[in-house]
């Protein structure tokens, strides 16, 4: 049986939360379990922990502050994050990083919040789940300051250049790949690059409800992406890498399990 772990599900999104039980069940039927629920700010992180408690072994979560919310970061945020991170369902610090594309928070605040969360990840010896958009140079510079003390780090939804990929791999980062590679309009560069990611550095994610793979046929009636579509992304990746689907899926699964320190045997049922 080919198993999968979706390392990024925004299950608290208004478009998903009301059907979360069904979403978890349908994903498990496609052997996609567990799901990693993303915490993008502290209140959402609390909600993610609460949701995970309702679905033990099926859901785990991250807890952190996304760069969009970096302006909310205060000295008290660090203590709050450390307390949240102690919960058994929390498997990584994040989503944290830099986003200079939308600049929803001032860039100096983004850098401050990102550095603070990497420092916490080092202190707690927890893996970190990271975001970078149009901010590569600052992102790599900050990561480099902490990388030696971080147990593990992943850049999720990678969409960068070959030079940026090489820089990330030089920092020994894991690379998260989404259905972006299935988008013939925006994803061709990534489709060309995915073959360069080593087997021991690659992970897969839907980033649901975002980034529905455009090349899926038949096309889902809803425009929402769902964890149950993860195998399609793996299949697309395998073709681009000229790699056996089962082999690639196994690498992604094992990398994710080890990265998040998940048990070797994970039940897909509540």
Residues of each annotated binding site for a divalent metal cation: 95, 131, 156, 207
Burial class of 73 by CB neighbour count within 10 A (0 to 12, 13 to 18, 19+): buried
Q: Secondary structure of the chain: what % helix, strand, coil (to 5)?
A: 50, 15, 35
Distance, first Cα to last Cα, the chain: 19
Reading phi first (left if > 0) and then psi (alpha if -120 to 50, else beta), residue 181 is in: alpha
85 within 8 A of 122, measured Cβ to Cβ: no
230 within 8 A of 256, measured Cβ to Cβ: no
- The annotated binding site is made up of 95, 131, 156, 207
CA distances from 106 to 18, 74, 95, 98, 119 (A): 33, 14, 17, 10, 20
> Helices 136-146 and 162-170 meet at what angle, rounded to 10?
10
103 within 8 A of 67, measured Cβ to Cβ: no
Spell 142-155 as b/e; 16+ CB within 10 A means b.
Answer: bbeebbeebebbbb
**How are beta strands 90-99 and 59-63 bridged, if at all?**
parallel
> Strand order in 128-133's β-sheet?
4-9, 32-37, 59-63, 90-99, 128-133, 153-155, 174-177, 202-204
């Amino acid at each position: 049986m080919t198993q999968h772990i979706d390392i990024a599900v925004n299950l608290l999104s208004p478009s998903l939360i009301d059907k979360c039980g069904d979403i978890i069940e349908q994903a498990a039927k496609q052997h996609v379990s567990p799901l990693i629920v993303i915490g993008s700010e502290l209140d959402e992180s609390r909600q993610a922990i609460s949701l995970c408690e309702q679905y033990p072994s099926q859901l785990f979560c991250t807890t952190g502050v996304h760069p969009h919310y970096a302006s909310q970061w205060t000295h008290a945020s660090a203590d709050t994050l450390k307390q949240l991170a102690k919960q058994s369902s929390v498997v990584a610090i994040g989503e944290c990083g830099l986003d200079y594309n939308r600049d929803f928070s001032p860039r100096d605040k983004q850098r401050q919040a990102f550095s603070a969360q990497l420092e916490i990840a080092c202190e707690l010896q927890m893996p970190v789940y990271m975001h970078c958009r149009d901010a590569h140079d600052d992102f790599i510079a900050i990561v480099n300051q902490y990388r030696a003390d971080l147990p593990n780090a992943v850049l999720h939804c990678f969409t960068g250049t070959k030079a940026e990929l090489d820089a990330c791999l030089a920092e020994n980062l894991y690379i998260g790949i989404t259905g972006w590679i299935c988008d013939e309009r925006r994803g061709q560069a990534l489709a060309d690059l995915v073959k360069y990611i080593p087997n021991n550095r690659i992970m897969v994610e839907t980033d649901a409800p975002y980034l529905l793979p455009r090349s899926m046929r038949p096309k889902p009636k809803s425009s929402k992406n769902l964890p149950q579509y993860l195998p399609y992304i793996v299949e697309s990746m395998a073709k681009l890498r000229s790699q056996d689907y089962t082999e690639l899926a196994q690498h992604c699964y094992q990398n994710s399990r080890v990265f998040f320190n998940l048990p070797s045997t994970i039940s897909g049922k509540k």
